[in-house]
Amino acid sequence: MKILLVEDDVDLAERIVRSLHREAFAVDVAHNGEDALFLGTTGHYECVVIDIGLPMIDGISVLQNWRAQGKDVPVLILTARYGWADKSAGFAAGADDYLTKPFLAQELVVRLRALIRRARGQTAGLVRCGELAYDPASGGFTMRQEALRLTAFEARILTTLIQFPEAVVERQKLLESLYEFEAEVPNNSFEVLIGRLRRKIGHHMIETVRGQGYRLTAAAS
């Protein structure tokens, strides 16, 4: 799957590209609106990720231009702005979804896959592992149909694990999900975060695979 990423923050763009490459996406990158307009007009992409605040031509104007040309590629906008007016402007210009910075790398991947599935006429649906369910649209988790209350770091770990149910996820991959887009370090250790998740969803659901990582499983203890 080929993605166009438009982000003027070079360091952030590089981190996003690394994350998408690990998930088997091919990525073209533009760092300003002029290059984005050219690539989006001349290239073929299954989805576009575009920042609103871009040099030369802003992201909203780029998106409006694409839509005026009849380009119907799914577009997810990135914004550091929290006001509804900015998000509304993005949707009015033709955006399909948005993420507010800072964001979880795995959430970006989930949303991109959901947009691509919808563009192909497929439904996204819930991601499940036993009685645990994740809604990519809302970013929320439920356990036995009851909403889970998770901290930001707990949600990041669990979002990564549920993408690979019954498979071992390397500890390093889980650590990257915590720190990829923020310099902030949690006060509690990684193992404490895993322990808290186990208490919330059931100790048996997160297995430690020594020397490898962790596995989210629906198997009974």
Q: Mind listing the pLDDT tens digit for each residue in 72-125?
A: 999 999 887 655 676 778 888 999 888 888 777 777 888 888 888 877 764 556
Domain shared by 95 and 144, yes or no: no
Question: How many whole angstroms from its chain centre is CA 76?
Answer: 10
29 lies in some domain: yes
Q: Domain end: 119, 136, 155, which one?
A: 119
**Claim to verify: residue 105 and residue 138 sit in the same structural domain:** no
The verdict on 110 and 142 lying in the same domain is no
Does residue 157 share a domain with residue 134?
A: yes
- The predicted model gives 139-158 an average pLDDT of 90
In a domain, 221, yes or no: no
Question: Rounded to whole angstroms, how far apart are CA atoms 4 and 12?
Answer: 14
Rounded to two decimals, what is the model's pTM? 0.60
Between 114 and 11, where is the model more confident? 11
Domain that holds residue 179: 127-216
Helix/strand/coil for 59: helix
Do 93 and 134 fall into the same domain? Answer: no
Confidence of residue 175 (pLDDT cuts 50, 70, 90): confident
C-alpha–C-alpha distance, residues 151 and 153, integer Å: 5
DSSP 3-state of 45: coil
> Which one is predicted more confidently, 80 or 181?
80
H or E element that contains 191: helix 190-201
What value does the mean pLDDT take over residues 24-41? 95
Let me know whether 111 and 44 are in one domain: yes
Is residue 190 one of the residues assigned to a domain? yes
- Average pLDDT, stretch 63-79? 93
Total domains present in the chain: 2
Residue 180, pLDDT score: 55
Segments in 23-170 forming alpha helices (H) = 33-42, 59-68, 84-93, 105-119, 152-162
* Residue 183 pLDDT grade (very low, low, confident, very high; cuts 50, 70, 90): very low
Same-domain status, 114 and 137: no
**Does any domain span residue 177?**
yes
Quickly state the pLDDT bin for 14 (edges 50, 70, 90).
very high
